[in-house]
Chain A
C-alpha cells in the first residue's frame, strides 16, 4: 500500500481566496493510500519545507503531492527537499491549483471542487511513479562559435580568456560581420573599426582560438556536452600557411564584381579580401566569377604571387570536430532589396513591370525602376566611413554629387504589418540620428530631414543623443512618406507632418531608408541544422523570454546577438558575454547530470515505422538492429539517445503501437490520472 503525503498550499491568499484548502486537504486525506495531509500558508517557505521533510521522515512517506503553484515554479524546490529527506525526487508531483485553478476561477465552490479533482488525479497518478535516477554524461570542453561578428568575437574572447578551446566558424572570408561595416557608433560617435579591429586581431593571435574563415557548419549531431560538427571549409584557392597577405594578387586581378562588403556600391577584384583590415588577411578567389576556374583563362594572380600560394585545384574540405557547447551568433541583415521590392515605396507607374517603353528609356538601363539615390542604412554607413568607397566623403551613388538635401525615413519595413515586419527594429531611431550628425559633420551647409513615426530612444545617453542630432540641424518631421518620385536629378519626397496636419514635399538629393533589421536569409535552415527553435520572422527562439534569454530550446546551444532578436551593439556584447558565462558554467564540471524524464522504447513492441524518428525535433531517436544471442540480426527497433532527448513527448503521441514511453509520464501514470477524473464518459 502506498504511503502518500498531500501538502496543500494556501499561497498566502492567492489560493485560499478561491479554494477552500482545508476542505481539499480533508478530501485528499480520505483517498486510498494517503496517510498524511497538511494545509499550510506557504509550503515553499523554509518552515513549509521543513514540515514537508519532517513528514517524509516521520511518516515514512513513499510519495508526495504538493497542491500549489505551477511545477515551473517550485517542482525543483520540493524535489530537492524530498531528496534531502531521503525520498527519490521523482516520487514528488505538483498539482497546480493556483494557475490552473484559483487564478482562473471566481467561485470558491467551483475552485474547491476543481482543486479536489486535480489533486485526486495526481494521487492516482503518483501510485505509478517509479523512482528514477539522473544520468551521468561525459563532456567535451571545447566551444563552437557560429559567426564572427562582434557577438561571436566577444563570446570567443571571453571563453578563451577563461581557458576554453574555442573555434569560430565564419562564412565570409573575414571576421567582422556587420559591425565592421559601420562608420561611427551611437551614442558616442566612436569609430566602429577602431574599436572592432583590435578585437579581431586579438582573436587571431589568441592561442586558444581557431578561426575557420570562409567556412560553414554543414551538419550537427550529438547533444549537450557531446556535439559533433561537420564544418565545410570552402575552397579559398589560396594556401593559408604560405600566404603573407602582401596584396600583389588582388591589386593585379583584372576582373571585378560587386563588393558584398561595400553593399555593392563599388567593385572588388575576383581574388579579394573584403576590407583592408580583414582577419585573416588571406584572400579568397570567388569561384563563381574567376575565369581561370570557370574556363581556364587568366591565372594572373598565380603568376604574380611571390610565395606561390595560389592553388586552382583546391577543393572544399570537410572537418569533423567535437564540441561541448555551441554559441550561435549569426547576426542580422537589413530587409533585403527594400527599395526594389518594397512595393509601398514604389509608385505604381515606376515599378519595372508597368513602365512604358518611353519611361524605361528615360531611366539608366541597369537601374530601371530604381531610384538610385534611395539607399539603406548600411549603404549610408559605407558612404560615411573613412575606409569606404568615397573615402568618407558623402557622395550620392548616381553621379557622385555631394547631396545638399538628404531625407531620412525611419521605420521602413518595421512596425508595418502589411508589407514588412510587425516588430520595431529598435536601433533605427538611433542610427538615423547618428546619420544626420555624420551628414551634418561632412556637409556643413546641407539640410537633413527625418520622417519618423515615434522616437524610441530608451538607453543610456540615447535621448540626449537624439536631442543633440536635432540641435545640430536635423529637421524632424513626424509623419510617414507616401511616395518617392523622380524629379529631374532629384527625388521628390511626398510626406505629411501629422503634428501640423500639413503635407510636406521635399526635393531631396538622396534618401536614406532606415530599413528593418531581419535575420539572415538562411536562418531557418541554420536553425534546422542546429535543431533549435525559431519564430515566424526567423529569429532564433530563446528558452524563456525573461529567465532564460540566452539559452536556445536545445540544451548546450546558446544565442548571442541579433540572430535572437533586434539588438544594438552594447546589448549584443552583453548577451555574448552572457553566453560565455553559460558555457563556462556548463564546462565547470567534468561530467553532466541529466534529468531522467526522457523517452524509452519498448524495442520488442517497436514496429519500426520510424514515425518517431521523423517527428523528433532533437534528432534523438535512431534506428538500431537487435541481435539474438548468436549475434544474428533479429529485428529493427528505435532507440532514444538519453543525452539528446529533451522529454518533449512528441514521439509518444506519434507512436501508434505505444512502444515509446516518457519516463515520469508513462502510459500507466497518464491513464490513471485521466480515469481518476472521469472514467465513464460514454
Chain B
C-alpha cells in the first residue's frame, strides 16, 4: 500500500504537480513517527504509514502556519479518514482551496492511542478511542487512493466514542463541575490544545486579545474556565474529532470531552456532521426553517 503512495508522491514531485508532500516518517524512537515534508522526489522512500501515525497533518495546512508564504502553490498530503475530515472542514470554512491540495488517501484500521502502547500490532488494548465506530477508515474525499475504494455508508450519526462523556453526563451538575474544577486545576495555559488544533485559525486568538481582555490570561480558575469554555464554544459544529488537543495536553486533561459532547448536541439538534461536505456551513451560522428550537424556553 505505502509503495503505491510513494510512487504517486514521486510522480507528483517529478512532474512538478505539487511542491511538497506532507506525510509521516520514522521517528527518533521506534515507537514513534514524525511528520515529514518531502520536497525532492529522491526522498519519498522516507514516507511510511502504519498505526503509529496518529498525528493530525492538516494542522500544517492551516493558514496560520503560513506555509503559503514559502511559495508552495500546491501541497500533497497523506490523509487518513479523520484527517481528511479536518481538510474538508478547512475547505468548507474557506481556510483552504480544494485545488491547492492533493489528497493521498490511505486506508486506515485505527491508530494506537499512545506511542508507548505500541507493541508491534494494533489491538483493542491500544486502539485510540476515536477509532472505535469510525466511518472513514476508507477515506471519503481523496485525489489518489491505493486500490479501489469501496462504497461506505456514512449516513449514520456521529458516535461519541469516549465512555467518559456519557459517564460525566450522568453525574449531577455540581459533581460534574467539581470534576472539571479538579481537572482544570492542572491546566497552566500552555495553549498546546490550541496550537495543535487544525481548526483554530484566527489571526489573533481571542485569548490574546487585550482590548478588552475577554479571557483572563492568568492560569487561575477564572482564566482557565473561560479559556476552555470559549475554546469549546468556538469549535461547536466545526470540530472533526481528531482528538489531538487531548493528546497534546502535557497535563493529561481530556479537553476534547467538551468537543465530543458538543458534537453530539449538534448532531442531535441539526443532524450535522462536520467534515463531510466541502460546501455545507456549520449550523451555528445557518438557519433552516425546520431547525429545532426546543432549547429556547
Contact = CB atoms under 8 A, between A and B. Distances in A.
A611 to B, nearest CB: 5
B267 to A, nearest CB: 20
A682 B212 contact: no
A189 interface: no
B204 A609 contact: no
B286 A610 contact: no
Contacts of B94: 608-610
Given A614-B285, A614-B286, A657-B202, 4 more contacts: A605-B204, A608-B94, A667-B211, A681-B222
A238 B211 CA distance: 65
B202 A656 contact: yes
B231 to A, nearest CB: 10
A605 B205 CA distance: 9
Contacts of A658: 204, 206, 209, 214
Nearest to B221: A682
A671 B212 contact: yes
A615 interface: yes
A615 B203 contact: no
B237 to A, nearest CB: 11
Interface in A401-436: none
B145 interface: no
Interface residues of B, number: 23
Contacts of B214: 658, 667, 671
B281 interface: yes
Contacts of B39: none
A672 B95 CA distance: 33
A243 interface: no
Contacts of A668: 211-212
B63 A656 contact: no
A654 B282 CA distance: 11
Given A658-B214, A682-B225, A605 B203 contact: yes
Interface in B162-213: 201-206, 209, 211-212
Given A609-B95, A656-B202, A657-B204, A614 B212 contact: no
Contacts of B234: 656
B135 interface: no
A607 interface: yes
Contact of B222 (A604, A614, A656, A682): A682
Given A658-B214, A668-B211, A607 B202 contact: yes
A58 interface: no
B206 A657 contact: yes
Interface residues of A, number: 22
A406 B225 CA distance: 73
17 contacts: A604-B203, A607-B63, A607-B95, A607-B203, A609-B94, A609-B95, A611-B281, A614-B281, A615-B285, A615-B286, A657-B205, A658-B204, A658-B209, A667-B211, A667-B212, A668-B212, A671-B214
A522 interface: no
Interface string B209-249: 10110100000011001000000001000000000000000
A680 B214 CA distance: 13
Contacts of A656: 202, 206, 234
Contacts of A614: 281, 285-286
A680 B222 contact: yes
The 10 closest A-B pairs by CB, nearest first: A657-B202, A671-B212, A682-B222, A611-B285, A615-B285, A614-B285, A609-B93, A656-B234, A607-B202, A605-B204
Interface string A579-613: 00000000000000000000000001111111100
B173 to A, nearest CB: 15
A604 B289 CA distance: 35
Contacts of A654: 284-285
Contacts of A672: 212
Interface string B122-139: 000000000000000000
Interface string A503-531: 00000000000000000000010000000
A524 B288 CA distance: 12
Identify the interface centre among B95, B285, B286: most chain A CB within 10 Å of its CB: B285
Contacts of A682: 221-222, 225
B217 to A, nearest CB: 15
A654 B63 CA distance: 20
A656 B234 CA distance: 7
B240 to A, nearest CB: 15
A614 B289 CA distance: 16
B212 to A, nearest CB: 4
Contacts of B63: 607
A610 B279 CA distance: 12
Contacts of B284: 654
Interface in A632-682: 654, 656-658, 667-668, 671-672, 680-682
A524 B287 CA distance: 14
B201 A607 contact: yes
Contacts of B202: 605, 607, 656-657
Nearest to A615: B285
Contacts of B205: 657
Given A614-B286, A682-B222, A609 B201 contact: yes
Nearest to B202: A657
Interface in B60-92: 63
A523 to B, nearest CB: 13
Contacts of B221: 682
A188 to B, nearest CB: 42
Nearest to B225: A682
A656 B204 CA distance: 10
Interface in B100-134: none
A615 B283 CA distance: 11
A195 B63 CA distance: 67
Nearest to A671: B212
B16 to A, nearest CB: 23
Nearest to A604: B203
A257 to B, nearest CB: 33
Identify the interface centre among A606, A607, A609, A668: most chain B CB within 10 Å of its CB: A609
Contacts of A607: 63, 95, 201-203
Contacts of A671: 212, 214
Contacts of B211: 667-668
Identify the interface centre among A524, A606, A607, A610: most chain B CB within 10 Å of its CB: A607
Nearest to B287: A615
A604 B221 CA distance: 32
A610 B281 CA distance: 10
Nearest to A651: B285
A656 B205 CA distance: 8
A638 to B, nearest CB: 11
A614 B284 CA distance: 10
Contacts of B281: 611, 614
A524 B205 CA distance: 38
B258 to A, nearest CB: 16
Contacts of A605: 202-204
Contacts of B201: 607, 609
A425 B118 CA distance: 73
A112 to B, nearest CB: 29
Contacts of B95: 607, 609
A658 B206 CA distance: 7
Identify the interface centre among B204, B212, B234, B286: most chain A CB within 10 Å of its CB: B212
A615 B201 CA distance: 19
Contacts of A524: 289
A682 B185 CA distance: 13
Interface in B20-43: none
A659 to B, nearest CB: 8
